[in-house]
């Protein structure tokens, strides 16, 4: 007879299989833990693709977004054109400028005069603002001349406008005006315009450009005050 003993516990045989880590393990699953009993946060695997910049990417399209759901502002593509610099003035050109400037008191100067530092050059009357500005200066010049000489000249035609920097702008205006049925006369008016919009007539005379510099009126102010343009 076999001896009576205590019952034996059943021991189940288990086996552990080690598998190599696969690419799928890069993205962790929600709820997975590393043996510490705490769930881990889900980590999403992302990839960045670098594409070469194309010419089409220079101008952004309206309404396009970069994945954040926000509309982007339209960016217009612009181009910068580099123009060659003006040629340097020769000594002869500079001398000729000063000869003409002092011979006519600035009313006749070469086209390149404005390229000189502090020089006087043609003033292009191309827009409505400039047209009104020059017209106002002429009307003011004529009012002063008429009052001083007790005559009644009226503006007829603009001939030429030169201008140069001088604590604002100094204008050299050549224009025609007539009195009644008489033939039009050529006027030369030098007018200063300050930065804050005030204008002052330096002088306004009849004659020709060569006589302006020797005129007794030239270079002297004919009005004590200044008025706004």
pTM above 0.85, yes or no: no
- pLDDT value for 180: 86
Looking at residue 200, its pLDDT comes to 94
Residue 130 confidence (pLDDT): 94
DSSP 83-127: PPPPPPPPHHHHHHHHHHHHHHTTSS--GGGGGSTT--EE----S
CA distance 165 to 172: 12
Q: Which domains does the chain have, with CATH numbers?
A: 122-228 (3.10.450.10)
- Return averaged pLDDT per consecutive 10 residues of the chain, 229 residues in all: 56 53 48 59 55 47 56 53 67 95 93 93 93 96 96 95 92 95 92 91 86 54 40
Task: State the greatest distance between any 2 C-alpha atoms of the chain, in Å, as a whole number.
Answer: 163
Q: Which strand (E) or helix (H) includes residue 164?
A: strand 154-165
The reported pLDDT for the residue numbered 70 is 63
Residue 51: the pLDDT is: 55
């Amino acid at each position: 007879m076999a001896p009576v003993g205590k019952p034996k516990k059943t021991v189940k045989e288990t086996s552990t299989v080690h598998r190599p880590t696969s690419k799928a393990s890069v993205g962790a699953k929600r709820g997975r833990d590393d043996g510490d009993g705490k769930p881990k946060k889900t980590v999403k695997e992302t990839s960045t693709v670098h594409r070469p910049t194309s010419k089409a990417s220079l101008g952004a399209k309206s309404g396009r977004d970069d994945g954040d759901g926000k509309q982007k502002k339209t960016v217009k593509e612009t181009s910068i054109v580099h123009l060659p610099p003006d040629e340097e003035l020769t000594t002869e050109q500079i001398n000729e400028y000063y000869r003409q400037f002092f011979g006519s008191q600035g009313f006749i100067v070469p086209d390149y005069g404005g390229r000189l530092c502090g020089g006087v050059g043609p003033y292009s009357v191309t827009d409505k603002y400039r047209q009104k500005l020059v017209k106002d200066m002429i009307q003011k010049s004529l009012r002063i001349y008429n009052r001083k000489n007790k005559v009644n000249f009226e503006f007829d035609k603009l001939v030429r406008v030169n201008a140069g920097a001088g604590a604002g702008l100094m204008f050299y205006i050549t224009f025609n005006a007539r009195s009644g049925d008489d033939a039009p006369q050529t006027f030369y008016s030098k007018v200063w315009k300050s930065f804050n919009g005030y204008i002052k007539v330096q002088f306004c005379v009849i004659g020709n450009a060569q006589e302006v510099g020797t005129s007794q009126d030239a270079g002297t102010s004919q009005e004590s005050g200044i008025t706004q343009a």
